[in-house]
């Protein structure tokens, strides 16, 4: 997992060409005026999911991971906690959902605080639990750019 502020995005452009495109998109888009939903950047290779939601309690979520996509998650407004654990041989609590590209886990995560203008790059070995309330539930606008591996 990589965590940083969007102003430092250029530091990560060399990771992979598609990750660079995802970070450029996050730097250039006006997320106050973009509607929620899926927005194609490069078809199924790179696309953004614009989400507005209320953060939830830790007990309402599970850690997840993906096999086909890297997540670049960006908090446009609001703040939240993200649970994190490294995939290290844990058994998933549910079978792999190929359509959603998702595995779920019952592990206990560590939590990292995310505020406006922060992003995380999450690789397949990064178990993550986004959207957790810091103190009380609040509204968050988050952009998740899915980058095909």
Lowest-confidence pick of 45-49, 93-97, 110-114: 93-97
pTM above 0.75, yes or no: yes
CATH (residue range 2-148): 2.60.120.370
**What does the pLDDT read at residue 27?**
97
Decide: 103 and 67 in contact? Cβ < 8 Å: yes
The H-assigned helical ranges of 1-149 are 17-28
Q: Strand, coil or helix: what is 15?
A: helix
Sign of CA dihedral 126, 132, 134, 140: positive
What residues does 81 pair with on adjacent strands? 113, 132
Residue 9, φ and ψ in degrees, nearest 5: -55, -35
How far apart, in whole angstroms, are the C-alpha atoms of residue 54 and residue 1? 24
Domain residue extents for the chain: 2-148
pLDDT for res 105: 97
Other beta carbons less than 10 A from residue 93's beta carbon: 12
Categorize the per-residue pLDDT at 97 as very low, low, confident or very high, splitting at 50, 70 and 90: very high
Nearest residue to 138 (alpha-carbon basis) of 23, 73, 53? 53
Q: How many CA atoms lie within 13 A of 10 on its CB side?
A: 2
Q: Nearest 5°: CA angle at 88, between 87 and 92?
A: 60
Confidence bin at 60 (pLDDT 50/70/90): very high
CA separation for the pair 68, 96 (Å, rounded): 11
Give me the chain's average pLDDT, please: 97
pLDDT band at 64; cut points 50, 70, 90: very high
């Amino acid at each position: 997992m990589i965590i940083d502020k969007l102003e430092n995005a250029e530091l990560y452009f060399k990771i992979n060409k598609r990750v660079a495109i995802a970070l450029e998109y996050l730097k250039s888009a006006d997320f106050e005026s973009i509607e929620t939903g899926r927005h194609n950047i490069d078809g199924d290779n790179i696309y953004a999911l614009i989400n507005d939601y209320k953060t939830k309690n830790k007990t309402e979520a599970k850690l997840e991971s993906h096999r086909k996509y890297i997540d670049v998650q960006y908090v446009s407004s609001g703040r939240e906690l993200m649970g994190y654990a490294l995939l290290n041989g844990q058994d998933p609590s549910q079978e792999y959902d190929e359509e959603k590209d998702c595995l779920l886990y019952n592990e206990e995560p560590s939590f990292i605080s995310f505020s406006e203008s922060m992003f995380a790059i999450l690789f397949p070995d990064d178990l993550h639990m986004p959207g957790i309330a810091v103190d009380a539930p609040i509204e968050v606008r988050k952009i998740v750019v899915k980058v095909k591996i």
